[in-house]
């Protein structure tokens, strides 16, 4: 069975998904839509698909599923439209920056029984997935402490940051999802600290560039997250899980793994410097996971609820920084 896709949004991340869809033997890219004709044309040319309007894709009988890669403020509306249109939906994170809007959107998804998957691609990274597999296999016993280090090679433009919803909702949100993925238990409490250390302009825009967060579940399992908007040595993405019988860790990834020895010491090249090269395999596996869920008529993961809870953790972290206290997730999630 081949899943027939419509792609909404032909920007940077849209191209990533177009490549993943066309590279999957169980998928076909039927049509692409974008407000900028040239962007849609580029994908149509490269992969031989049609250009259609969003409305046409919504009404199309030859399209089973959509991938939503449009700007964030259109996500919730599009999810609702395509849920009502009976299409399976893969939506880039976040669903919306407002918790209330996300809740309303997920109500429609539940009512329409639509399949919805949210793009927390890191769960599909083969290295991180292998960490989770070790946990599931019982290798490290009961999970006790998760440590997530996540640092970007460099900060995005300040204009992007101003629209991003802030570092906790834009960047840490991936780590909140990863912490939940690994803890295996809901987070109950959040404490956070935030600084501007990388670029004062980020502070002027009302955001932070360096944050640290602690999470705790009801049974006392712990997680720590460290984020910086800048790492000179590349895209620093590491996770560690400590448990009752041992620990498991996923190391950083490099484009080439050589080592040069000289009088100055032993030097390995820097890490990947871009999320797309770092997570190439994750994007392919993510679409494959979505296809499998649709084919199996099983719930897709990460779900809309996963998107909601990660956003709630971001809100709790923001509240913790503002109020200088540990915040219960129930305070923000209701």
State in angstroms the smallest separation of the CB of 318 from its own copies.
Answer: 14
Q: What is the DSSP string of 90-145?
A: EEPSPS-S-HHHHHHHHHHHHHHT--EEE--GGGG-HHHHHHHHHHHTTTT-SEEE
Q: Note the residues at the interface with its own copies (CB under 8 A).
A: 25, 46, 126-127, 130-131, 134, 139-140, 142, 144-145, 147, 149, 151, 189, 191, 193, 195-198, 210-212, 214, 216, 219-222, 224, 226, 228, 230-233, 236, 242, 244-251, 253, 255-270, 324-326
State in angstroms the smallest separation of the CB of 225 from its own copies.
Answer: 9
Pick from 105, 122, 116, 18: nearest CA to 69: 18
Which token pair is 139? 């290798």
State in angstroms the smallest separation of the CB of 203 from its own copies.
Answer: 10
Considering beta carbons, is residue 58 or 286 the nearer one to its own copies? 286
**Residue whose tokens read 């999810």:** 79
Considering beta carbons, is residue 97 or 287 the nearer one to its own copies? 287
Q: What is the DSSP string of 272-311?
A: -SSHHHHTHHHHHHHHHHHHHHHHTTPPPSS-HHHHHHHH
State in angstroms the smallest separation of the CB of 130 from its own copies.
Answer: 4
Q: What is the DSSP string of 40-89?
A: HHHHHHHHT-EE--HHHHHH-SS--EEEE-S-HHHHHHHHHHHHHTT-EE
Considering beta carbons, is residue 19 or 81 the nearer one to its own copies? 19
Instruction: Provide Rg for the chain, Cα atoms.
Output: 20
**Residue whose tokens read 């956003």:** 311
State in angstroms the smallest separation of the CB of 187 from its own copies.
Answer: 11
Considering beta carbons, is residue 71 or 255 the nearer one to its own copies? 255
Considering beta carbons, is residue 86 or 246 the nearer one to its own copies? 246
Considering beta carbons, is residue 101 or 242 the nearer one to its own copies? 242
State in angstroms the smallest separation of the CB of 266 from its own copies.
Answer: 5
Considering beta carbons, is residue 236 or 315 the nearer one to its own copies? 236
DSSP 185: S
Considering beta carbons, is residue 219 or 330 the nearer one to its own copies? 219
Pick from 210, 256, 254, 218: nearest CA to 236: 254
State in angstroms the smallest separation of the CB of 23 from its own copies.
Answer: 8
State in angstroms the smallest separation of the CB of 186 from its own copies.
Answer: 15
Q: Mutual orientation of helices 172-183 and 304-323 as an angle, nearest 10°?
A: 110
Contact 213, 326 (CB under 8 A): no
Say if residue 302 is preceded by a cis peptide, omega within 30 of 0. Answer: yes
């Amino acid at each position: 069975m081949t899943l027939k896709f419509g792609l909404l949004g032909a920007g940077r991340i849209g191209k990533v998904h177009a490549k993943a869809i066309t590279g999957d033997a169980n998928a076909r890219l039927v049509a692409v839509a974008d407000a900028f004709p040239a962007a849609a044309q580029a994908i149509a040319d490269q992969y031989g698909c049609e250009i259609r309007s969003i409305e046409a894709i919504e009404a199309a009988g030859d399209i089973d599923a959509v991938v939503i890669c449009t700007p964030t403020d259109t996500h919730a509306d599009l999810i609702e439209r395509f849920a009502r249109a009976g299409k399976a939906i893969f939506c880039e994170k976040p669903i919306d920056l407002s918790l209330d809007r996300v809740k309303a959107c997920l109500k429609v998804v539940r009512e329409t029984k639509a399949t919805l998957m949210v793009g927390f691609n890191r769960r599909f990274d083969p290295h991180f997935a292998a960490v989770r597999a070790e946990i599931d296999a019982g290798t490290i016993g009961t999970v006790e402490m998760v440590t997530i280090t996540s640092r970007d090679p460099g900060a995005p433009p300040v204009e992007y940051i101003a629209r991003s919803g802030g570092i906790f909702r834009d960047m840490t949100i991936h780590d909140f999802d990863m912490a939940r993925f690994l803890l295996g238990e809901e987070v109950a409490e959040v404490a956070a600290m935030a600084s501007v250390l990388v670029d004062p302009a980020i502070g002027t825009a009302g955001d932070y560039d360096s944050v640290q967060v602690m999470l705790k579940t009801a049974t006392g399992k712990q997680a720590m997250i460290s984020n910086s908007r800048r790492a000179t040595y590349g895209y620093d993405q590491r996770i560690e899980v400590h448990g009752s019988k041992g620990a498991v860790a996923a190391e950083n990834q490099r484009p080439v793994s050589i080592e040069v020895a000289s009088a100055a010491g032993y030097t390995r090249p820097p890490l990947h410097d871009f999320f797309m090269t770092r997570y190439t395999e994750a994007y392919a596996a993510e679409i494959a996971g979505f296809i499998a869920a649709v084919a199996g008529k099983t719930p897709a993961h990460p779900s809309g609820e996963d998107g909601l809870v990660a956003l709630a953790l971001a809100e709790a972290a923001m509240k913790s920084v503002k109020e200088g206290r540990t915040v219960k997730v129930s305070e923000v999630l209701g």
